[in-house]
Structure 1
Amino acid sequence: MAELDLMAPGPLPGITAHSLATLSPDSGSASPAEEEDKGSLGSPQGEIEGQDTGTGLQGGPGGEGEKEILCDFCLGASRVRAVKSCLTCMVNYCEEHLRPHQENSKLHSHQLTEPVKDRDLRTCPAHHSPLVAFCHPDRQCICQECGQGEHKGHISVSLDAARRDKEAELRVTQLDLERKLKLNENAIARLQANHKSVLVSVSEVKMVAEEQFGELLAAMRKAQADVMLFLEEKEQAALSQASGIKTHLEHRSAEMEKSKQELGRIAGISNTVLFLEEYCKFKDIEDSSFPSVYIGLKDKLSGIHKVITDSTVHLIQLLQNYKEKLQEFAKEGEKLSVGCDL
């Protein structure tokens, strides 16, 4: 088998790229130099085997019995024997927990095998070879055959180096997440602190608005009372004037009735000299003037009606402008407001 080299020009900063170990064509075991290179790649098979220590039971002398492979999805003491292992999920399944792989068409492409140990699950699902490196462009663990095939020429590092790099990246992500979480919690705390302030502030403005509108209603009621009193006074003055004129006219009627009788008497005088004297005397004392019976209240009332109408229209317009002014103020406030930047 030709030597596999996964190094590529320009590896990622802070990450040392390694070439994968070359397997000898006869036994598949690596040469001493290659064993050292495998050690630099983290020796995943050795690590997994070390982690698997204790999974087997001691058998007879010189031998090692193996423990029953249990389902990874069963919990606690209720774990039962696995019937299949999924090389895609890298999990052992009992008959009950294997059902999704059998019934869900999306999982039919997963590679199922007879139950194998956890250490054997950590192998390449395509080539069933140990995973020995991490391919950066494809962000996945690969075996030696993967490196010679679809991942050939990709930048790759040992599993340990990849873990160190991803752990460092994870710590940065954790710190950034903690920072954002703290900012978010601070924003929530500020909102909670402002909740009462908002309620108090709005309540204060409501009280002012109720007070001002109360004063406005009181002023409107007073203006209404003043207008009604003014009209009543004008009405009483006009009625009183009309009553006075009527009394005067009634008195004049009585006087004219007397004059009428006097004229009848004068007309019956046969003596010409006496007739002339009496008639001329009557004319000298006769009052031919008549008082004006026109009361110009209607013209005054027309002017009063116009004042009341114009003033009412103006007040209504002012009241209608309340909402428009509030909306304009709100828009200006939105322009000046600062958003919460997390």
Structure 2
Amino acid sequence: MMAEAQLCGLQDEFTCSVCLDTLTDPVSIPCGHNFCLKCLTDCWDQSQECSCPQCRHTFTTRPELNRNTLLNEVIKKLKKTTLSSPPPQNYAGPGDVECDFCTGKKFRAVKSCLTCMASYCQTHLQPHYEVAALKHHKLVDPDRNLKEKLCEKHQKSLEIFCKTDDSCICMMCVVTGHNGHKMVELETVREEKQKQLGVTLSDIKMGLQEREKTLKEMKRAMDEMKMSVVREVEENEKSFTALIRCIEEAHRTLTERIRDQEKREMEKANGIMERLEKEIEELKRGEAELKDVSETKDHLHFLQTFSSRCVLPADGDSLSFTVTADFSSVDLRKELSGLTKSLEKISRWDIMTRTPSVGVFTGFTHEHEVICDSSVVTNVLVFGDYRERSPPKISL
């Protein structure tokens, strides 16, 4: 049992670096590496030279392939105790960068080489650690956008930033089209742009806080308005229930107009609140995107996305809002006791709103105006500032 456990632990040693599966009909070559007979034969048949797929050692003549019978027996025993295929989590899944050298089902890349402009799984990456000519290559975390790091004109790595043209360039661009231009390393200009990004993030955060504060004030104003509406309706109910049918009819009409005004104010306020919530969502999304850009270690990706991301949205008019405030009809109730003969005309009262301040719910107010015209007395209910209709006017 202990021997079988040791064999299971050595499963990776019996994996072909070409097909990435357990060796089948294994053969050994002079450099000491083992491969499936078919994998190695196909590989050499399709290549102009014979080299080791793992260490890249080149042979002047094609070596004779000898089956490794001892290794084959060990593998057979291994297959009886463990699954022959590599762990499924090594395969590339959605969102993973695939190995460019895997054939068939591809493994997940663990590194990308900026010199080779290719991505490698753990197995195919080994030559970069073992072969002297590959050790100086620049390895980075897996990157699926390697082509974006190449100069479109020269197909060379973008390594320099030209301040004159505000663009990333390769070494060939430096000598062919940017003579006399001011050029710096990517890291240097990244530091400069990072400061600008910080300022933009700060402005966005401030705008976000202002909108959240305004939204909070708007919600509070709406609560106050609802309470004022309830209070006003109740007070009117008390006043009108004690009067005759004419007063009840006038009361019904007045209440309907108050409700209509409430509806208009609510619709206006809800529109402003909807805009505020939308702007807050957009600012949060912009903040998250800028944070992602700010935290990336990829200087080139940072610079390529900086211009389109580091833009402060234009302020709208949603930070200022006007809403009618308090409902109050104290003066009206005082006058009702002396207006018995005019009750039939109360249903013709007009309702107007007054909005004297921004961000504060000031409510509805009443002015009772009696316009005298020989034989006609007109009662007008006014919410807020009422424009004088015709003299003479008696304010009660």
Larger radius of gyration: 1
Question: TM-score, normalised to structure 1's length?
Answer: 0.33
Q: Give 1 or 2: higher strand fraction.
A: 2
Q: Give 1 or 2: higher helix fraction.
A: 1
